[in-house]
Protein backbone atom coordinates (compact mmCIF):
# COMPACT_ATOMS: atom_id res chain seq x y z
CA UNK A 1 0.00 0.00 0.00
CA UNK A 2 2.72 2.47 0.92
CA UNK A 3 4.87 2.03 -2.21
CA UNK A 4 2.16 3.12 -4.69
CA UNK A 5 1.01 5.86 -2.33
CA UNK A 6 4.58 7.11 -1.91
CA UNK A 7 5.12 7.10 -5.66
CA UNK A 8 1.92 9.03 -6.32
CA UNK A 9 2.76 11.57 -3.62
CA UNK A 10 6.34 11.97 -4.88
CA UNK A 11 4.97 13.05 -8.25
CA UNK A 12 3.25 16.02 -6.59
CA UNK A 13 5.17 16.81 -3.40
CA UNK A 14 8.72 17.40 -2.20
CA UNK A 15 10.21 14.54 -0.15
CA UNK A 16 9.37 16.30 3.13
CA UNK A 17 5.75 16.64 2.11
CA UNK A 18 5.66 12.94 1.22
CA UNK A 19 6.98 12.02 4.68
CA UNK A 20 4.47 14.31 6.38
CA UNK A 21 1.54 12.79 4.49
CA UNK A 22 2.76 9.24 5.20
CA UNK A 23 3.22 10.11 8.88
CA UNK A 24 -0.34 11.47 8.99
CA UNK A 25 -1.70 8.30 7.35
CA UNK A 26 0.19 6.11 9.81
CA UNK A 27 -0.98 8.20 12.77
CA UNK A 28 -4.59 7.96 11.58
CA UNK A 29 -4.32 4.17 11.14
CA UNK A 30 -2.84 3.72 14.61
CA UNK A 31 -5.51 5.96 16.14
CA UNK A 32 -8.32 4.01 14.49
CA UNK A 33 -6.84 0.67 15.56
CA UNK A 34 -6.54 1.94 19.14
CA UNK A 35 -10.18 3.05 19.13
CA UNK A 36 -11.21 -0.35 17.78
CA UNK A 37 -9.18 -2.17 20.44
CA UNK A 38 -10.72 -0.17 23.28
CA UNK A 39 -14.21 -0.47 21.81
CA UNK A 40 -13.85 -4.24 22.02
CA UNK A 41 -12.58 -4.06 25.60
CA UNK A 42 -15.37 -1.73 26.69
CA UNK A 43 -18.03 -3.98 25.18
CA UNK A 44 -16.56 -7.41 25.93
CA UNK A 45 -18.65 -8.20 29.01
CA UNK A 46 -22.00 -7.13 27.43
CA UNK A 47 -21.10 -9.01 24.24
CA UNK A 48 -20.30 -12.22 26.08
CA UNK A 49 -23.36 -12.03 28.34
CA UNK A 50 -25.62 -11.44 25.32
CA UNK A 51 -24.15 -14.58 23.76
CA UNK A 52 -25.02 -16.67 26.79
CA UNK A 53 -21.97 -16.42 29.06
CA UNK A 54 -22.58 -15.74 32.72
CA UNK A 55 -21.45 -12.36 34.06
CA UNK A 56 -18.75 -14.14 36.08
CA UNK A 57 -17.32 -15.88 32.99
CA UNK A 58 -17.44 -12.61 31.04
CA UNK A 59 -15.61 -10.83 33.87
CA UNK A 60 -12.98 -13.60 33.92
CA UNK A 61 -12.49 -13.22 30.15
CA UNK A 62 -11.96 -9.48 30.56
CA UNK A 63 -9.56 -10.04 33.46
CA UNK A 64 -7.55 -12.65 31.57
CA UNK A 65 -7.28 -10.22 28.66
CA UNK A 66 -5.81 -7.64 31.03
CA UNK A 67 -3.35 -10.16 32.45
CA UNK A 68 -2.34 -11.07 28.91
CA UNK A 69 -1.73 -7.42 28.03
CA UNK A 70 0.47 -6.86 31.06
CA UNK A 71 2.39 -10.09 30.49
CA UNK A 72 2.87 -9.19 26.84
CA UNK A 73 4.19 -5.73 27.64
CA UNK A 74 6.56 -7.01 30.30
CA UNK A 75 7.75 -10.03 28.31
CA UNK A 76 8.05 -8.59 24.80
CA UNK A 77 11.44 -7.00 25.42
CA UNK A 78 12.90 -10.34 26.46
CA UNK A 79 11.23 -12.04 23.51
CA UNK A 80 12.58 -9.42 21.09
CA UNK A 81 16.15 -9.88 22.36
CA UNK A 82 16.05 -13.67 22.13
CA UNK A 83 14.17 -14.30 18.86
CA UNK A 84 14.12 -13.06 15.29
CA UNK A 85 11.33 -11.16 13.61
CA UNK A 86 9.88 -14.16 11.76
CA UNK A 87 9.80 -16.30 14.91
CA UNK A 88 8.07 -13.53 16.89
CA UNK A 89 5.51 -12.94 14.15
CA UNK A 90 4.71 -16.63 13.91
CA UNK A 91 4.59 -16.98 17.70
CA UNK A 92 2.27 -14.00 18.15
CA UNK A 93 -0.02 -14.49 15.15
CA UNK A 94 0.06 -18.29 14.96
CA UNK A 95 -2.11 -19.03 18.02
CA UNK A 96 -4.61 -16.39 16.96
CA UNK A 97 -4.76 -17.90 13.49
CA UNK A 98 -5.35 -21.39 14.89
CA UNK A 99 -8.14 -20.01 17.07
CA UNK A 100 -9.72 -18.26 14.10
CA UNK A 101 -9.65 -21.49 12.09
CA UNK A 102 -11.23 -23.45 14.96
CA UNK A 103 -13.96 -20.80 15.15
CA UNK A 104 -14.61 -21.21 11.42
CA UNK A 105 -13.02 -18.03 10.11
CA UNK A 106 -10.88 -18.20 6.95
CA UNK A 107 -7.11 -18.18 7.42
CA UNK A 108 -5.83 -14.91 5.97
CA UNK A 109 -3.08 -14.02 8.45
CA UNK A 110 -1.35 -17.38 7.97
CA UNK A 111 -0.73 -16.65 4.30
CA UNK A 112 0.80 -13.28 5.14
CA UNK A 113 3.57 -14.54 7.38
CA UNK A 114 4.12 -17.87 5.61
CA UNK A 115 4.92 -16.25 2.26
CA UNK A 116 8.60 -15.32 2.91
CA UNK A 117 9.37 -18.88 4.04
CA UNK A 118 7.67 -20.32 0.96
CA UNK A 119 9.72 -18.03 -1.30
CA UNK A 120 12.99 -19.10 0.26
CA UNK A 121 12.12 -22.80 -0.05
CA UNK A 122 11.20 -22.44 -3.73
CA UNK A 123 14.26 -20.47 -4.82
CA UNK A 124 12.63 -17.03 -4.73
CA UNK A 125 9.30 -18.05 -6.28
CA UNK A 126 6.09 -18.21 -4.25
Rg (CA), the chain: 20
Residues 15 and 41 in one domain: yes
- What's the confidence (pLDDT) of residue 76? 87
CA-closest candidate to residue 93, choices 82, 41, 101: 101
- What's the confidence (pLDDT) of residue 107? 57
Nearest-angstrom CA–CA distance, 111 and 102: 16
Backbone dihedral region for residue 84 (phi beyond 0: left; psi -120 to 50: alpha; all else: beta): beta
pLDDT tens-digit series, residues 44-97: 899 899 989 899 999 998 998 889 889 988 988 898 899 998 888 888 777 777
In this structure, are residues 71 and 92 in contact, taking their beta carbons and an 8 Å threshold? no
pLDDT greater at residue 9 or residue 109: 9
Q: Considering its fold, how many domains does the chain have in total?
A: 2
Residues 78 and 93 in one domain: no
Binned at pLDDT 50, 70 and 90, residue 37 comes out as confident
Task: Return the HEC string of 19-50.
Answer: HHHHHHHHHHHHHHHHHHHHHHHHHHHHHHHH
pLDDT greater at residue 33 or residue 112: 33
Residues 28 and 73 in one domain: yes
Mean local confidence (pLDDT), 93-111? 67
Mean local confidence (pLDDT), 16-31? 92
pLDDT greater at residue 31 or residue 89: 31
Residues 29 and 68 in one domain: yes
Dihedral pair phi/psi, residue 52, rounded to 5°: 105, -5
- Report if pTM > 0.75: no
Residues 89 and 41 in one domain: no
Amino acid sequence: MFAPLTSALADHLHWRGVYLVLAAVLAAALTLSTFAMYAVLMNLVPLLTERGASPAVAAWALGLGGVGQVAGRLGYGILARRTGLRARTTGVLGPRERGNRRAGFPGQAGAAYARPAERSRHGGRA
